[in-house]
Amino acid sequence: MSAPPLLSIVVPVYNEAAGVNDFHYGHLLPALIELGETFEVIYVDDGSTDATRLLVEMIAAADERIRVAALARNFGKEIATTAGIHQARGQATLIMDGDGQHPPSEVHRFVEQWRSGAQVVVGVRTGNQREGVVKKWGSRAFYALFNATSGAEMIPRSTDFRLIDSEVREAFKAFPERQRITRALIDWLGFDRVILEFESPARIAGEATYSVRQLVKLAVNSYVSLSLKPLYFFGWVGGLITALSLIVGLAVTVEQFLLGDPLQLNFTGSALLGIFISFLVGLVLMSQAMLAVYVAHVHEQTQGRPLFVLNRSRSVGL
Ligand code: UDP
Ligand code: MG
């Protein structure tokens, strides 16, 4: 095994046969050569069913700086990325898509930021993107809802195009959870971060393999893995309903039965029953939320995240 390079590039690829050669020889390699640093590229073949694995094997056979991690089947981009990060040996690790949408011409800017001290460099897409209406508005709605309600924060349009320092990478490798969103985990880690805007071009070839359905699943997963707030929300609603029906119920009882209905409201039996039922519904909601809090605690415990993460290179005397 040769000496660890300065830069590791992790590229998950799934059925990218139509574009991967152009990506590598036409874009990534020229950018890395121009950068003039030692590097390795780790292509993670995420169980492609086309010639992708063959193509990256051929790329790697001709160049010892290129490595291929072939997954036994399709595990999805998040896990493929993780697999690549586990293989990386560089002082800095840059994660990027293999379809050209994370332009290799930007690599030097990530490295510059890292050189000036950033431990995490987050690529954020600029606003003027050409994407489908559903994806565009869906993602806007997601970030708005997420940031307003989840209690965690996510930068809109932030991507997996990220550079992490080796210290951050080692901390990342400690995450044991199965349902994972790479960028959310990196966000959770913290460290000294810098945001870098880039313009995302169209794919080199082929179609995005993330369907709208998968994106919805990703959104739900990020939400669930990062946030416990929605669980409490329904508890509050329940509490409100119970309190209101209690007040109304008491008012009606006093007005109708103790004072003999001086306001002539003539509450019927079904109205009273209605009030009683909403009182019970409120109780049910509250107890559900109680249960949810227990589930949340179990959830958090089973996630098994580290209790804290030290920023060693910013600590003194450790
Ligand atoms: N990808 C992967 N496994 C999958 C789906 C996608 O490794 O199951 C890779 C894909 O080859 C590409 C990157 O993840 O390099 C982003 O995928 P895509 O372009 O389909 O998604 P989008 O551009 O919509 O984020
Ligand atoms: Mg893409």
- The pLDDT tens digits for 233-245 are 888 899 999 999 9
- The atom of ligand 1 lying closest to the CA of 52 is 11
pLDDT digits (tens, 9 = 90+) for 39-90: 999 999 999 999 999 999 999 998 999 999 999 999 999 999 999 999 999 9
Closest by alpha carbon to 40, among 89, 101, 103, 111? Answer: 89
Residue 148 CA to ligand 2 center (angstroms) comes to: 27
Residue whose CA lies nearest to ligand 1 atom number 2: 77
**Torsion region of 264: left, alpha or beta (phi above 0 gives left; psi -120 to 50 gives alpha):** left
Looking at all shown ligands, the one closest to residue 16's CA atom is 1
Is pTM beyond 0.95 here?
Answer: no
Q: Please answer whether residues 43 and 71 qualify as being in contact, where contact means their C-beta atoms are separated by less than 8 angstroms.
A: no
Q: Where are the beta strands (DSSP E) in 154-278?
A: 158-165, 193-198
Q: What's 165's DSSP letter?
A: E
- The atom of ligand 1 lying closest to the CA of 13 is 11
pLDDT for res 3: 83
235-268 core/surface letters (b: 16 or more CB in 10 A; e: else) = beebeebbeebeebeeebeebbeeeeeeeeeeee
pLDDT for res 168: 96
- Burial class from Cβ neighbours inside 10 Å (0-12, 13-18, 19+) for residue 41 reads buried
Residue 101 CA to ligand 2 center (angstroms) comes to: 5
Residue 99 CA to ligand 2 center (angstroms) comes to: 6
- 197, β-bridge pairs: 124
Question: CA-CA distance, 48 to 52, in Å (whole number)?
Answer: 6
- The atom of ligand 1 lying closest to the CA of 159 is 25
State the first-to-last Cα distance of the chain, in angstroms, to the nearest integer: 30
